[in-house]
Amino acid sequence: MLKFKNIVALAAFIIYATTSYAQTPTFHLDVAPIIYNNCTKCHRVGELGPMPLTTYDEVAANGYYIEYVTQSGYMPPWTPDHNYTTLIGERFLTEDEKQTLVDWVAADMPEGNPSDNPGMPDFDIGLQLGNPDLVLTMSEPYLHGGDGLEQYQVFIIPTGITETVDILAVEIIPSNNAIAHHGLIGYTSNSASINAAIALDNADPAAGYESFGDYGVPVEDRLFGGWVPGSLPLMFPPTIGKIMEPGSELLLQMHYGPAYQDELDQTTINIYFADVPLEREIETYIVTPANLSVPFYIPANEIVSFHGTVYVEDDISIISTIPHSHLVGKSWLVFATSPDNQDTIPMISIPNWDFHWQGIFTYPSLLHIPGGYTVHAIAEYDNTSSNTFNPNNPPQPMWFGDFTTDEMYVLFFQFVEYLPGDEYISIISDPIVGCLGDVATNGSIDISDILLILSQYGCLSECEADVDGDGAVSISDVLAVLAVFGETC
* CB of 182 or CB of 324, closer to ligand HEC: 182
CB of 18 to ligand HEC, least distance (A): 22
CA dist 222 and 226 (Å) reads 10
Which residues lie closer than 8 Å to 42 by C-beta, 6 or more apart? 48, 49, 229, 230
* CB of 91 or CB of 144, closer to ligand HEC: 91
Q: Is residue 455 a contact point for ligand HEC (CB under 6 A)?
A: no
Q: Residue 32 is inside which H or E element, if any?
A: helix 32-38
- Residues 179-238 interacting with ligand HEC (rule: CB under 6 A): 229-230
**Amino acid at the residue 34:** I
CA dist 383 and 84 (Å) reads 26
CB of 68 to ligand HEC, least distance (A): 7
CA dist 380 and 330 (Å) reads 5
CA dist 178 and 166 (Å) reads 33
CB of 62 to ligand HEC, least distance (A): 5
CB of 342 to ligand HEC, least distance (A): 39
- Residues 349-408 interacting with ligand HEC (rule: CB under 6 A): 356
- Residues 93-132 interacting with ligand HEC (rule: CB under 6 A): 93
Beta strands 134-137 and 268-273, pairing class = antiparallel
Q: Is residue 76 a contact point for ligand HEC (CB under 6 A)?
A: yes
Which residues lie closer than 8 Å to 76 by C-beta, 6 or more apart? 38, 39, 91, 92, 93
Q: Residue 450 is inside which H or E element, if any?
A: helix 447-455
Q: Is residue 144 a contact point for ligand HEC (CB under 6 A)?
A: no
Tell me which stretch binds ligand HEC (CB under 6 A): 66-74, 167-175, 367-375, 424-432.
66-74
369: closest CA among 312, 286, 330, 421? 312
CB of 104 to ligand HEC, least distance (A): 12
Three-state DSSP state, 121: coil
Tell me which stretch binds ligand HEC (CB under 6 A): 8-16, 59-67, 109-117, 369-377.
59-67
CB of 100 to ligand HEC, least distance (A): 11
156, burial (CB in 10 Å: exposed 0-12, middle 13-18, buried 19+): buried
* Per-residue binding letters, 1-40, with ligand HEC (x by CB under 6 A): -------------------------------------xx-
* CB of 28 or CB of 91, closer to ligand HEC: 91
Q: What is the contact surface with ligand HEC in residues (CB under 6 A)?
A: 38-39, 41-43, 48-50, 62, 65-66, 69-70, 75-77, 91, 93, 229-230, 257, 356
